[in-house]
Structures are given as structure tokens and as C-alpha cells.
Chains A and B, each alone.
Chain A
Amino acid sequence: MNDNSILRRRRRELVVGAVLLVLLIALPLPISDVTTRNIMILTILYAGLSQSWNILGGYCGQISLGHALYFGIGGYVSTLLFVRLGLPPILGMLVGGGVASLCALLVGWPCFRLTGHYYAIATVVVGELGYLLFQNWDFVGGDSGVYVPITANSWVDLQFGKEKLPYYYVMLAFAALTWGVAWWVEGSRLGFAWRAVKDDVIAARSLGVRIFPSKMAAAALSGFLTGMGGAIYAQYVGYIDPDSVLSSPLSILIALPAVLGGVGTLWGPIIGAAVLIPVSELSRSYLGGSGSGVDLMLYGLLIVGVALARPQGLVSLLGWRAKAGGVDVRPA
């Protein structure tokens, strides 16, 4: 028996992750086109968001379709703290993440009593509640949203005017953080508990795994990271309203890269985002203008195609072990 198989795999993942990070740091340097840089920024952001979702939806197997709530709360909290109290967003994103995390616990408390599809439906409803609440709440700008005040370019305020490159690196730092957290989770006691909860609750608790607290921990961590993502997104676009940061299509968009790439895998969200976001943005700019909806059809076909051909996600094409589906795709 190879007694270090897990350690060796984890070391290899770290090396691949580091190489990928270096490549991604260098990638935008030769590209000056604003549209392309915008797509790259969104791709990296969604890779990070979907990795955050993956912690709860992938590793722990609790399919949340309301993650826009945590994204929106992170964005609103950091932006409002900036507008009303002058707290710089670099700190605001931590507070935003913290509030989103608390909110995830609050949602988890009743919802984790449900399982499977019932849990997923409950998260849709809670997400929609958040959307309606913010739309009708004047203190947070209601329907018309909140503008981020323009200040001098600075890393503390995460403001860089028309420059795209620094935003790209902010997003990259966020995505790298989520990847690092997921990597740590895979080896930790919590990560093993989460995967056990996903596979078989009864077997898990017979081995001493506390089911409810495990789910709550996954929700808190996932909510925190998603909230951070919402905060930096608000700084990037400069304006947030319920439609742009709390709507239910956004919840789907946060989950999709992980689902397409491979649920509960380290690389799935990254691969999924790298395919999905450029396709979505490019098809919208080339095909969406006429209002014919061809871009959405293309997008839908892509998802259906992957679901039919590779239910384990795109990650299984690469020959890496697709953990979520439990299929060892390497030749035996």
C-alpha cells in the first residue's frame, strides 16, 4: 500500500495551484483590451464565488440556491459602511463577510432541518426574501441602490478609477484565498466530516460526526467568503442595487461554475468559470444585442451538454479524480 497517497496528491495540488497562480498573475499583462480584461476579471471573480459556494454545496452536499443573499449582504454592508461611516472597503469586506456569515448561520438554523430538494427550495425562498427586503428598505437605498463614492485610487479603498489591472489582482487574491481554503478543507477533520455528511448522514453520525454543527460550519465559511466576494464586486462596479447583487439568477450563476466543472472538487469551480463566464459574456456581446435570446440558448445548451456527457463535471475530462461523483476516471 502506498501510505502517502493523500499527502502526495495534496502536495501535487499545491504545486499546480502555485503554477496556475503565477500564470494568472502574468496573463493580463500583454492584454490591454478593456473588454477582454473585464471578462477576465469576472471569470476570476466567479471562480472564487463558486469555490465559496462549493464549500457548502460541493463538499458538504447542501445545495444552496440562495447564495446571492450572502453576496449581496457582503456588498451592501461594506458599501454602506464606506458611505455612512467612511470605513475603508479593505476592512469593510471583512465586516461584510462576517455579517454574511452570521446571516448564513441564521438561514442554516431552520433550513438545515430540511434535506435534499427541500433544503434547496428553502434557500431559493430565503434568497428571494432578501431581495424583496432590500428592494423595499429605504435605509439601504431601496430599489434605487447605492453608489460607491469615488475617492482617490488606493488599495485601502479598493478603488482604481478606470484602471482594470488592479481590480484583476484583487479578484485573483480573492479567488486564490477561496482555493486555499478549499485545499485546507480537503485535508481537515471538518472537510472529512462534510464529505461524510454528503455521502451518508446515518453512517456519518455513527462514526461520531455531528451533523448539524458540521453543516453550520460549512454555511458560515461559505457565507463569509461569498460576502467578501460581494464586497469587492461592489467596489469594482461602483454601484449596487437589489437586481445586480441579490437576484435569484445570480444565485444560479454562483453555483453553476462548480456544477459544470465538478461539484466538491478543488478544480471544478475554476474550470467551470473559465468555460462558462467567457461563453456567457461573449455570446451576450455578439448574439444578445438583437434581443433574440440566442446567447441564453447557447448557454443552456452548453450546460445540458455537459450534464449529459460528463455528469461528474468537466474536471473529469482532465483525468483527475472526480471526487464528487466518486468515479475514478484513471485507467485501473
Chain B
Amino acid sequence: MSALLEVRHVSKSFGGVSANVDISFDVAQGEILGLLGPNGAGKTSLFNSISGEVTPDKGEILLSGQRISGLGPVACAELGVARTFQVVRSFDSMTVLENVMVGAYSRASGMRAAMAAAIDMIAFCGLEARADRPAHGLSPAEKRRLEVARALATQPKLLLLDEMLTGLTPTEAQSGVQLVRDVRARGVTVIMVEHVMEIVLPLVSRAVVLDLGRVLTIGTPAEIVRNPDVIRAYLGDRYAAA
């Protein structure tokens, strides 16, 4: 099976602070990959490189064999990378439907086509009842769903979810987990950043753990939780031996 996304030796530093150092991994078509690590590990920086928001200093990123690093966010979106944001960025002067139509217009020609596509995605994300409401009035959980709907409306191959489940109530998080499964069932490959291990690990097929900008380990959930390096990174040295 060929990899959908290949991250090859990616390094990125900001003003002397290394956010990512020599990061390499592959993501298979149809996979849900977890991107884990403590605060400041470089998860969001890596997302920004994959989505084209920043250009890596070294290394390259390939989508379906085509180089996407350095092309910028618009080209990445056109080639099939979509994302949500850690701090929600809804278009607050628009309704939910209009928000999603912005994404839909990247593929659809004409208002009716964009609207039909947007309505599909809103229904898929369970926001039908909110379609005509202004986006700024949504609850935090609904805003996260709105971002997913908007991103899916661009018909991506790869969806990057940046802490989509963080800060939600357990019920909201559970329905969020179901939404991620549904997204994968549509054939969209998912990379998700999360802090909260117990939510992510049952969901993902593999996880990449970052610490201080470097890849600490890559493996299945079962391998991750037993890895002493992961325990050390999260809990400190005292617990690693236990």
C-alpha cells in the first residue's frame, strides 16, 4: 500500500527555537493517525507545514507522491489537504451554511452547486438544525463541527484535525470520535492532534509521538502506552522505571 502523505526529514525553527527537528513518517491511505505529545512538542507547527501555512526549513512533504511543502495553503487546499484550527476560526459574520459554502466554492461552480454540497456536509456533521444560524452563536462543540464541515466541503484527501476533541464534555467528545470515524468511512485520511491519550488511542491505527520537536516514537496504540520514553515525556523520569 502506497503512502498518501510522506513527511521526509522536516525541520522548522522560529527565531532560533526549533519547533520541528528531522521529522519523518508516512501516512497510509484511509488511516487515522494520531499526532501526540506534550505542550510545545511541535504538533501544531508540523500541521502548519503540512497544510502549507509555513514552509519547512529543511526536508519535504509529499502528498500522493507530489511535493506540497512550500506551495502555500491555497495550493495545498486545492491538492487535497484540509484542516481545522486549534483555536476555532469560524467566519463569524456568516451563517453556518455560508461558512461551509466558502469551502464548497473551492470545487463547485455556481451558487446552487456550492449550496447543495454545503448542505450535504452540514447534514453529515449533524448541524442541520443550525444551518441558518450565525456561526458566532454556536457552542464550542458545534464550532468544531462547523470547521470539520467546512474543511470536508473542499473535498480533501487528507484532513488535519487540530485538537478537535480537547475541551469538550465527555458526551461531546464521544460524538466527536464518532464523527472522525464517519469521516474516515468516507475515504478521507485523517491526522489528529490531541493531548488526551484515552480519547485518541482507541480511535487511531497508529500514532506519532513528538517531544521537544523530535519524533519520540511511532507505533500502534498498544506499543505507545508501553513505551518508556513516552511515559517519561508525559510523566517525568520517576515514572519511567515503574
> Which residues of chain A have a CB within 8 Å of any CB of chain B?
1-3, 5-7, 187-189, 192-193, 195-196, 198-200, 202-210, 264, 323-328
Nearest-neighbour CB distance to chain B for A194, whole angstroms, equals 10
Q: Decide yes or no whether B119 CB sits under 8 A from chain A.
A: yes
Q: Which residues of B contact A205 (CB under 8 A)?
A: 72-74, 77
CB distance B119 to A324 under 8 Å?
no
Given contacts A327-B134, A328-B133, contact A193 B102 (CB under 8 A): yes
Pairs across A and B, CB under 8 Å, 21 listed:
A1-B128, A2-B131, A5-B131, A6-B111, A195-B91, A195-B94, A195-B98, A199-B94, A202-B53, A202-B89, A205-B72, A205-B77, A206-B83, A207-B102, A207-B106, A207-B154, A208-B74, A264-B93, A325-B93, A326-B94, A328-B134
Q: Which residues of A contact B90 (CB under 8 A)?
A: 199-200, 203
CB distance A207 to B103 under 8 Å?
yes
Q: Which residues of A contact B154 (CB under 8 A)?
A: 207-208
CB distance A192 to B89 under 8 Å?
no
Given contacts A203-B85, A207-B103, contact A326 B119 (CB under 8 A): no
**B window 42-58: CB within 8 A of A:** 51, 53
A200–B51 Cα distance when bound, in Å, is 16
CB distance B132 to A204 under 8 Å?
no
CB distance B93 to A323 under 8 Å?
yes
Nearest-neighbour CB distance to chain B for A268, whole angstroms, equals 13
Given contacts A6-B115, A204-B102, A207-B106, contact A198 B74 (CB under 8 A): no
Q: Decide yes or no whether B114 CB sits under 8 A from chain A.
A: yes
A43–B73 Cα distance when bound, in Å, is 44
With most chain B CB atoms within 10 A of its CB, the pick from A196, A198, A208 is A208
Within 8 Å by CB of A193, from B83, B89, B105, B129, lies B105
Closest to B105 in A: A189
A199–B102 Cα distance when bound, in Å, is 12
A250–B81 Cα distance when bound, in Å, is 46
Within 8 Å by CB of B129, from A1, A7, A324, lies A1
CB distance B78 to A326 under 8 Å?
no
How many A-B residue contacts, CB cutoff 8 Å? 109
Q: Decide yes or no whether B122 CB sits under 8 A from chain A.
A: yes
CB distance B122 to A1 under 8 Å?
yes
Q: Which residues of B contact A3 (CB under 8 A)?
A: 115, 119, 131
Given contacts A199-B91, A206-B82, A327-B134, contact A1 B105 (CB under 8 A): no
Within 8 Å by CB of A1, from B112, B119, B135, lies B119
Q: Which residues of B contact A206 (CB under 8 A)?
A: 51, 53, 73, 77, 82-83, 85, 151
A324–B136 Cα distance when bound, in Å, is 12
Closest to B115 in A: A6
Closest to A187 in B: B111
Given contacts A1-B122, A199-B92, contact A207 B151 (CB under 8 A): yes
Nearest-neighbour CB distance to chain A for B154, whole angstroms, equals 6
Nearest-neighbour CB distance to chain B for A255, whole angstroms, equals 18
With most chain A CB atoms within 10 A of its CB, the pick from B78, B93, B119, B154 is B93
Q: Which residues of A contact B51 (CB under 8 A)?
A: 206
Closest to B101 in A: A192
Nearest-neighbour CB distance to chain A for B83, whole angstroms, equals 6
A204–B91 Cα distance when bound, in Å, is 9
Given contacts A192-B105, A326-B93, A326-B94, contact A2 B151 (CB under 8 A): no
A85–B128 Cα distance when bound, in Å, is 61
Closest to B110 in A: A189
A207–B89 Cα distance when bound, in Å, is 12
CB distance A208 to B91 under 8 Å?
no
Q: Decide yes or no whether B150 CB sits under 8 A from chain A.
A: yes
Closest to A200 in B: B89
Q: Which residues of B contact A328 (CB under 8 A)?
A: 133-134, 137
Nearest-neighbour CB distance to chain A for B21, whole angstroms, equals 25
CB distance B93 to A2 under 8 Å?
no
Q: Which residues of B contact A323 (CB under 8 A)?
A: 93-94
Contact with A along B60-102 (1 / 0, CB 8 A): 0000000000001110011000110100011111110110011
Within 8 Å by CB of A189, from B53, B74, B78, B114, lies B114
A328–B109 Cα distance when bound, in Å, is 28
Q: Which residues of A contact B131 (CB under 8 A)?
A: 1-3, 5
Q: Which residues of B contact A264 (CB under 8 A)?
A: 93
A240–B100 Cα distance when bound, in Å, is 47
Q: Which residues of B contact A204 (CB under 8 A)?
A: 91, 102
Q: Which residues of A contact B196 (CB under 8 A)?
A: none
CB distance B132 to A207 under 8 Å?
no
With most chain B CB atoms within 10 A of its CB, the pick from A2, A3, A7 is A3
Q: Which 6 A-B pairs have the closest CB atoms?
A: A208-B106, A208-B77, A326-B93, A203-B89, A199-B91, A1-B128
CB distance B134 to A326 under 8 Å?
yes
